[in-house]
Amino acid sequence: MKTLIVVLVLLSFLQVTLIPLNLVLLILILRAYLYPEKINLYLGFFLGLLISFLDSQTLGVYSLAYVFFIQIIHIFRKTPFALHYFVIIPAIVLILSLNRIFLSVVTGSSIQLWPQILKESFLIIPVFLFLKIWEERFVVKPEVKIRL
């Protein structure tokens, strides 16, 4: 978990300085898809605060959006067809678009989805697979115990 937090903080800085893509939200909603845990909401809240601050926006705007979208994923995850690839990709593209629309409305600027959404959409599958492999192979789960 510490590694994930460090990576997400680094990505927050990269997101507001060099790479204008919602990398943090993408990772958070994909993690919420794979592991619908409470920690996702905490991460969404605190990283939202950090990004609001780094992006010179009013504090709380990103937190509100991130927590809300992560919770939507948590609820959506309970449906039986939710983990199918053909459902994940459009659902996440929709969430990323809604996030951009929400932030444009809040900041009073015009809605500009293209071409960032396309770039973010191409990242969904690689990030999803990377997160899945990382969490399954390298993160120790407390419920896994060796029986002697």
Partner 1 sequence: MKVIPHLQLFLTLVFLSILILFLDNLHFLALPKTALSYITTPIQFGLYSSGQTAGKQFYFIFSARFAAKENKALKEQLAELLSENARLRRNLSETESLLEQQETLDPRVYNLVSARPIGLDRYLKIDKGSRDGVKESQAVIFKDNFLGRVKQVSEKTSSVELTTDPDFKLSAFSINKDGKAKGILIGKFGSEILMDKILHEEKIEKGDLVYSEGTEGFLPRGLILGIVGEVFGNETQVFKQAKIKSVFDIRDLELVFLMSD
Window 1-30: residues binding partner 1 (CB under 8 A): 13-14, 16-18, 20
Q: Is 57 helix (H, G, I), strand (E, B) or coil?
A: coil
Q: Which of 2, 79, 110, 126 binds partner 1 (CB under 8 A)?
A: 110
What the block records as the tokens of 28 is: 């958070």
What the block records as the tokens of 66 is: 């991130």
The 8-class DSSP code of residue 42 comes to H
60 binds partner 1 (CB under 8 A): yes
By beta-carbon proximity to partner 1, the closer residue of 59 and 129 is 59
Q: Name the residue with tokens 């992560």.
A: 70
Smallest CA-to-CA distance from 43 within 105, 101, 82, 1 is with 1
Interface with partner 1 by CB under 8 A: which residues? 13-14, 16-18, 20, 36, 38, 41-42, 44-45, 48-49, 53-61, 63-64, 67-68, 71, 74-75, 78, 107, 109-110, 112, 114-115
